[in-house]
Amino acid sequence: MRELVSIVIPCYNPENEWEKKVMENLEKIDQSISKQYEIEIILVDDGSMHDLDEAFERISKKWKTVRTKNQVNAGKGNAVRKGVSLANGKYIIYTDSDIPYENKHIAEHLELLEKGDDIVITVRDKTYYDTIPMQRKIISLVVQYLIKLLFRLPTADTQGGLKSMNKMGKEILINTKIDGYLFDLEFIKEAFKQKRRIGYIHGELKQDINVKKVDLSVLFKEFYNLLYLLK
């Protein structure tokens, strides 16, 4: 009997017809792991300005799906936490709505979880920084510098948008408090504190991914989240 794997996809104002690309990627992922695993998709609409119901319905016709919605934008951390809490799989993976990393990494995550890791982190390789806007590159590197300086963690690259976990990892994540992007840091910080096994893979971005600039107002919010994590 195949094990169930839940893939959590938080969505906030995705591009038009984004679901077509999602379904194409899910088809490839399924082909690569279908001998051992069955996929469940958890779709979270984080208060998007346009209706995602039709897109969610198209995905639901193809895949076993759980759907939920925030009436207002609550933040990526909130959306991922809500999705993970609804997941039924033995293993849970969360990624962005454009599924930006190469599909092969899903199987790599599952392999490490099967070997006993409680959480698997995607560490972004050099190709990631070669393809993103300079603003994003600078912000990412500054954040990593601060994490390395302020926290005693096994990696400073906590913010890659593809992570996975078993049920012990799930319990840690659903008890995080940060609703913004630094929920990832809170998750890894708490897992390390609890001495959970953390595995790593090096992630490659797909060539057709368009990484957007960060709204500077987001940085101010995340600064306060950083102060919260230092308590």
The pLDDT tens digits of the residues spanning 36-62 come to 999 999 999 999 999 999 999 999 999
What pLDDT is attached to residue 83? 98
Residues near 57 by Cβ (< 8 Å), separated by ≥ 6?
none
What pLDDT is attached to residue 197? 98
Residue 199: which pLDDT band, with cuts at 50, 70 and 90?
A: very high
What pLDDT is attached to residue 110? 98
Q: Hey, which CATH number is domain 3-229, 3.90.550.10, 1.10.10.10, 3.30.70.2740, 3.20.20.30?
A: 3.90.550.10
Q: Mean pLDDT lowest for which of 196-205, 210-219, 222-231?
A: 210-219
**Contact, 94 vs 165, CB < 8 A?**
no
The DSSP code sequence of 156-220 is S----SEEEE-HHHHHHHHT----STTHHHHHHHHHHHTT--EEEEEE-B-TT--PPPPPHHHHH
User: Across all residues in the chain, what is the average pLDDT?
Assistant: 95
What pLDDT is attached to residue 231? 84
**Contact, 190 vs 182, CB < 8 A?**
no
Residue 219: which pLDDT band, with cuts at 50, 70 and 90?
A: confident
Q: DSSP secondary-structure letter at 88?
A: -
What pLDDT is attached to residue 207? 85
Average confidence (pLDDT) over 150-176: 96
What pLDDT is attached to residue 179? 97
Average confidence (pLDDT) over 93-108: 96
Assessment of whether the complete model's pTM goes beyond 0.75:
yes
Average confidence (pLDDT) over 80-87: 98
Domain ranges in the chain? 3-229
What pLDDT is attached to residue 158? 96
Report the share of the chain in percent with pLDDT over 70.
Answer: 100
